[in-house]
Structure 1
Amino acid sequence: MEDQNETENSTAQESGPAYRARVWGGAPRKLWNAPMDGTVGARLRDLADWADGSGRAELPLDMYGNGVVEELEQRVAEELGMPAAAFFPTGTMAQQVALRCWAARTGDPVVALHPLAHPEVHENNAFAAVSGLRTVHPTDEPRLPTADEVRDHPERFGALMLELPLRDAGFVLPGWDELVAVVDAARERDAVVHFDGARLWDCPTHFGRPLAEIAGLADSVYVSFYKSLGGLSGAALAGPDELIEEARIWRHRYGGQVFQQYPAALSALRGLSEELPRLPSYVAHARVVAAALRDALAEPGGPGWFRVHPEAPHTHQFQVWLPYDADALTAAALAQAEETGTTLFRRWFPAPAGGPPGVAATELTVGGPGLAWTPADVRTAVRDFLGRL
């Protein structure tokens, strides 16, 4: 019996999240470096090497947000064209603080946002449970709301929150003129506008506008450092001086006044210096990869039905849908990496809400490693993957 239990435990470990992450992340050929790829030692050595090379290795350690954390806050404010910025340990905390501060100013605790927005899907009802906010939805279509939907929403709201891009709908963005019209519609209702910009760094290519012009449409903006920039953790809230000053007080009340944060701050500064300038090339190549995926999936003997969404990605991330069981697709992705050293897909999930039964979806990201992939490389990897189903 003990031998059987040991065998079952070994099998579970070899198919569990840690094992999958190690196989996918350690593959010689992959499309991107995920945040969980690598080891503790390797990540710390890389960060120490960058600190040496950037002249920051001999800086004093920060204490309660000074030093390198202040440098990061100033850099974010400059990049976004905002008067001030404050570092937060998490984006969940940053956005709750921002919207409760706006609610106090407007006298209205109602926030209009998409039902697929991060606070509605991934935060266990934190807006209501922790911050006393209530949400309404101008639309439930898998896209950002239109100006008419914002203007004509029957219930009053004090703030409009727009997630750019809307991740769970496929990392989708509106057109520039559409975004400006939506912001104008909110202003007509005397509502403030907050951007959930966890991945705002990815948006300039789609909009054809610099970061500061995009962020300048909003009253406040949150950005993440581990999404797209490859930081260890952390976020920032940017906006007017008086808002950020109050946000710092609430950050302390929420338990976000961390004693030392130099590893996260240094990794964020590295991301701003090294990854941010490369993001346009990742977005451009994601469109090449997506086109090659569509070509390969449409070949004779393919799945018969598939979806690459958006067809031309708006950022360097997009969705792929296939008519198979999610666990079977995940197993095939793992086997491909184990046997060929190529990570094309990673984990699959049952189709998002509104999707047909028997369909699974995954998210694909194109980063630095993916720039080496040609369309022929993508098609070869897709054929091998499908052959494992």
Structure 2
Amino acid sequence: MSENNMLLEAYKETNYQVTSHGKRNVDILKEALKTIDGQQDSDMYGEGKIIEDFQDKMAAYLGKESAIFFPSGTMAQQIALRIWCDQKGIKKVAYHPLCHLEIHEEDGLKELHQIEPILLADKNTIITLDDVMNLNEEISCLLLELPQREIGGQLPDYETIESISIYCRKKGIKLHLDGARLFEILPYYEKSAVEVCALFDSVYVSFYKGIGGVAGAILAGDKSFTDESKIWKRRHGGDLISLYPYIISGDYYFEQRINKMEQYYEGAKELAALYNQCTDVSTVPIQPVSNMFHVHFQWPKEKVEPILVDIYRESGIGLTGHLREVSEKECYFEVSIGDQYNEVPKDQLNAAFQHLNEKLSGVIK
């Protein structure tokens, strides 16, 4: 068994795991379905009460005129950018170098829609107003991902987003929100979803990340925009005969967790502080601005893995099942706080971190 597999297996065997909401298994759907009358009609090809009610509910929550449910955020966002490009007649959009569309979608935007991305900012920093104002290309749309997941969930201050929004509207540039983790950032900004989304022309939100549903996404905006997105949804094959397993689980866990985002945020800050007390360990950002952050070890991956395995076996507490190599001397992993964190006994958690620090302090790199 490889060391990485040993880490994952040791993580699975722990009594407590500090991240996420728990295992992603069939029980996620079974739990949600307990609340539903089995005789209720399903949606069919994007129509029907079950999907329309949820779309209306999310449009109201986001403060937009209309919303459409999609089976995936990848589909929803490519379609949003295509609509804005067609409207302006310029097939260019701008976004961060580590945007999901750039690094996780096999060039779908380019290959399916022939849209050229313009990359803004250094990959390790967030997009600023100066980045937008210094654009040398004419674009149809600017995409902002809040938070910027690949750099630890960093965020611009709220005034920067407001300034970018004002500038884009002045220049006739549509502003799209990759809000896959929108719900999770609201406690930091101390704003409602309506207030944040008002700064954007279109908004995407996910229902399997902080919400913890099976899958699915909402794309919201004005009605002419969402009406056109429905046509593109059909073209992309997104109108499955029924999407109700995604919708029911999304709605159920939205109600279960939307008011826990403050709890997850406070948990992330507490946990990050424990990591930052350890030798050669730091978090990005140092103080989280949502429920997520990255943990960096100034150690080789092959040295960190056995240390973590020992901690798990000694304490019964799992911190992560995966490590990613940054260089020969550094590795990191991502943390997302959910329901499980509050179940971890704090005395055992503190003891686990004390042991971690002792091991890192006592072992030669």
Q: TM-score, normalised by structure 1?
A: 0.85
Deviations 1:330-373 (A, max 9, x none): 4544554456431122311012xxxx641001111221221244
Matched AA of 1:186: C
State whether residues 289 and 378 of structure 1, in contact with CA within 8 Å, keep that contact through their aligned partners in structure 2: no
Cα 1:213–1:349 shift into 2, 3 Å: same
Q: Distance in 1 between matches of 2:321 and 2:187?
A: 26
State whether residues 139 and 149 of structure 1, in contact with CA within 8 Å, keep that contact through their aligned partners in structure 2: yes
Q: CA deviation at 1:70?
A: 1.9
- 1:28 matched residue in structure 2: 15
Cα 1:274–1:264 shift into 2, 3 Å: same
Deviations 1:4-56 (A, max 9, x none): xxxxxxx47x9649x93x76356331223357x1543x33432233x25xxx5
- 2:294 matched residue in structure 1: 319
> SS of the counterpart of 1:362?
strand
Q: CA deviation at 1:164?
A: 0.5
Q: Distance in 2 between matches of 1:92 and 1:287?
A: 30
Q: How does 1:219-234 map to 2 (within 5 A)?
A: 219-234=201-216
State whether structure 2 residue 344 is matched by structure 1 residue 383: no
Q: CA deviation at 1:286?
A: 1.1
State whether structure 2 residue 329 is matched by structure 1 residue 358: yes
Matched AA of 1:318: F
Cα 1:346–1:247 shift into 2, 3 Å: same
Deviations 1:300-353 (A, max 9, x none): xx3xx32211111010100110022335434544554456431122311012xx
State whether residues 301 and 323 of structure 2, in contact with CA within 8 Å, keep that contact through their aligned partners in structure 1: yes
- 2:148 matched residue in structure 1: 166
- 1:60 matched residue in structure 2: 41
Q: Distance in 2 between matches of 1:73 and 1:174?
A: 29
State whether residues 334 and 346 of structure 1, in contact with CA within 8 Å, keep that contact through their aligned partners in structure 2: no
Greater relative CO, 1 or 2 (CA 8 Å, sep 6+): 2
Deviations 1:173-219 (A, max 9, x none): 11111111122222232100000110011111111110111011000
State whether residues 87 and 237 of structure 1, in contact with CA within 8 Å, keep that contact through their aligned partners in structure 2: yes
Cα 1:264–1:146 shift into 2, 3 Å: same
State whether residues 147 and 183 of structure 1, in contact with CA within 8 Å, keep that contact through their aligned partners in structure 2: no
Q: How does 1:292-331 map to 2 (within 5 A)?
A: 292-295=274-277, 297=278, 302=279, 305-331=280-306
Q: 1:260 aligns with which of 242, 249, 255?
A: 242
Single out whichever of 134-143 and 358-367 deviates more from structure 2: 134-143
CA RMSD of superposed structures (Å) = 2.4
> SS of the counterpart of 1:222?
strand
State whether residues 88 and 236 of structure 1, in contact with CA within 8 Å, keep that contact through their aligned partners in structure 2: yes
- 1:4 matched residue in structure 2: none
Q: Percent identity?
A: 27
Matched AA of 2:33: A
State whether residues 336 and 385 of structure 1, in contact with CA within 8 Å, keep that contact through their aligned partners in structure 2: yes
State whether residues 63 and 260 of structure 1, in contact with CA within 8 Å, keep that contact through their aligned partners in structure 2: yes
State whether structure 2 residue 107 is matched by structure 1 residue 111: no
State whether structure 2 residue 263 is matched by structure 1 residue 281: yes
Matched AA of 2:44: M
- 2:341 matched residue in structure 1: 370
- 1:290 matched residue in structure 2: 272
Structure 2 unaligned segments of length 5 or more: list them. none
- 1:43 matched residue in structure 2: 28
Matched AA of 2:140: G
Q: Distance in 1 between matches of 2:219 and 2:308?
A: 37
Q: TM-score, normalised by structure 2?
A: 0.91
Count residues in correspondence: 359
Q: Distance in 1 between matches of 2:221 and 2:346?
A: 42
Cα 1:349–1:245 shift into 2, 3 Å: same
- 2:67 matched residue in structure 1: 85
Q: Distance in 2 between matches of 1:133 and 1:361?
A: 33
Q: How does 1:238-253 map to 2 (within 5 A)?
A: 238-253=220-235
Deviations 1:107-151 (A, max 9, x none): 111111000111111111111011111111231152322112201
Structure 1 unaligned segments of length 5 or more: list them. 1-10
- 1:151 matched residue in structure 2: 133
State whether residues 25 and 33 of structure 1, in contact with CA within 8 Å, keep that contact through their aligned partners in structure 2: no
Cα 1:260–1:171 shift into 2, 3 Å: same
Matched AA of 2:131: E
> SS of the counterpart of 2:76?
helix
- 1:347 matched residue in structure 2: 322
State whether residues 292 and 376 of structure 1, in contact with CA within 8 Å, keep that contact through their aligned partners in structure 2: no
Q: Distance in 2 between matches of 1:359 and 1:100?
A: 39
State whether residues 83 and 238 of structure 1, in contact with CA within 8 Å, keep that contact through their aligned partners in structure 2: yes
Matched AA of 1:28: N
